[in-house]
């Protein structure tokens, strides 16, 4: 059997093969065992001074690198993922819970003073313009408003933040109630979040509006659906029409509140667009 004829001590020297390139990095110098070196060109037909089987029992130099070193070197220079920071949406759920809580206190537990939160047009208290946006005539009226309130309120909060959601809800709701109080008869009582819903719908559309024909078509389709469904929900309040708290009548479909809430939403977006934003380098 042909074997190699080389000195045993030459096995511990460094590799000098001209056709092998060894990177001179710390990783390879610590993790790879030393290569055998031959001072002369090996001959396959010379009798060696030691058996070839001795090569099988050589002690390899242990690798003193660990998994974390390998991962850190492989991931070195890898760009960190960039993305828009995730915003937690909480405000819309508090508004929904507040609407449900007022409804339960009013219609299930009949809490004293719950009816005082309604907006009575004869001589309203200042706080009724706010509290009436959290009151509803019946469950159908509430459930429909909550459905659209969640959709458009969540869009506004994700885009503009928690504070902007609360301000948009209150300002559009108060604006809708104020216009209703100025226009409707004095023997009317107004309740519902429909004005605020239309305001949030308008704001959610305008803050993302572009002249893309697909966006415009989406707004037209969604807007027509919202108007139709909210008006159907408002008609559910006709069950309370007639005598109510000393001769008051509940407005069945408050179109004035719907339109004025949407207009207040447009006004808010227009006013905010006039506010100069801070430079990015500050």
Inter-CA distances, 47 with 184, 221, 230, Å = 116, 92, 100
- Nearest Cα neighbor of 257 from 141, 162, 156, 91 is 141
DSSP assignment letter at 230: H
Pairing of strands 188-190, 119-120: antiparallel
Buried b (16+ CB within 10 A) or exposed e, 143-164: ebbbebbebbbbbbbeebebeb
Kindly name the residue from 121, 136, 141, 258 that is annotated as catalytic.
Answer: 258
CB 170 within 8 A of CB 195: no
Please write down the HEC assignment for all residues of 167-181: HHHHHHHHHHHHHHH
- Structure token digits, residue 275: 């506010």
**Annotated catalytic residue within 194, 204, 237, 260:** 194
In the residue annotation, 245 being an active-site residue is answered as no
Q: 141 an active-site residue?
A: no
**Closest-CA residue to 266 (of 187, 206, 220):** 206
CA atoms of 110 and 97, how far apart (whole Å):
18
β-bridge mates for residue 120, sequence order = 189
| Residue 101: both structure tokens together | 């809580």
Spatial strand order in the sheet of 119-120: 119-120, 188-190, 249-250
CA distance 47 to 4: 7
Hey, which residues are catalytic here? 194, 258
């Amino acid at each position: 059997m042909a074997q190699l004829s080389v000195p045993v001590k030459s096995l511990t020297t460094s590799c000098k093969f001209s056709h092998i390139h060894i990177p001179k990095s710390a990783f390879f110098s610590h993790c790879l065992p030393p290569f055998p070196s031959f001072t002369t060109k090996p001959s396959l037909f010379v009798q060696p001074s030691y058996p070839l089987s001795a090569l099988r029992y050589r002690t390899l130099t242990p690798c003193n690198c660990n998994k974390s070193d390998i991962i850190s070197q492989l991931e070195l220079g890898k760009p960190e993922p960039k993305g828009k920071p995730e915003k937690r949406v909480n405000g819309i759920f508090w508004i929904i819970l507040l609407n449900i809580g007022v409804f339960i206190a009013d219609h299930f537990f009949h809490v004293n003073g719950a009816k005082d939160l309604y907006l009575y047009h004869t001589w309203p208290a200042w706080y009724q313009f706010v509290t009436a946006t959290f009151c509803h005539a019946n469950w159908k009226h509430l459930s429909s408003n909550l459905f659209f309130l969640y959709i458009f309120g969540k869009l506004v909060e994700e885009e503009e933040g928690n504070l902007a959601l609360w301000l948009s809800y209150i300002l559009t709701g108060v604006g809708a109630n104020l216009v209703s109080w100025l226009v409707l008869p004095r023997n009317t009582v107004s309740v519902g979040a429909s004005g605020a819903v239309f305001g949030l719908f308008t704001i959610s559309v305008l803050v993302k509006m572009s002249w893309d024909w697909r966006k415009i078509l989406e707004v037209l389709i969604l807007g027509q659906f919202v108007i139709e469904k909210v008006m159907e929900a408002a008609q559910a309040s006709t069950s309370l029409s007639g005598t109510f708290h000393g001769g008051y009548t509940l407005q069945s479909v408050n179109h004035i509140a719907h339109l004025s809430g949407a207009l207040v939403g447009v006004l808010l977006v227009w006013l905010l667009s006039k506010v100069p934003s801070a430079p990015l380098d500050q």
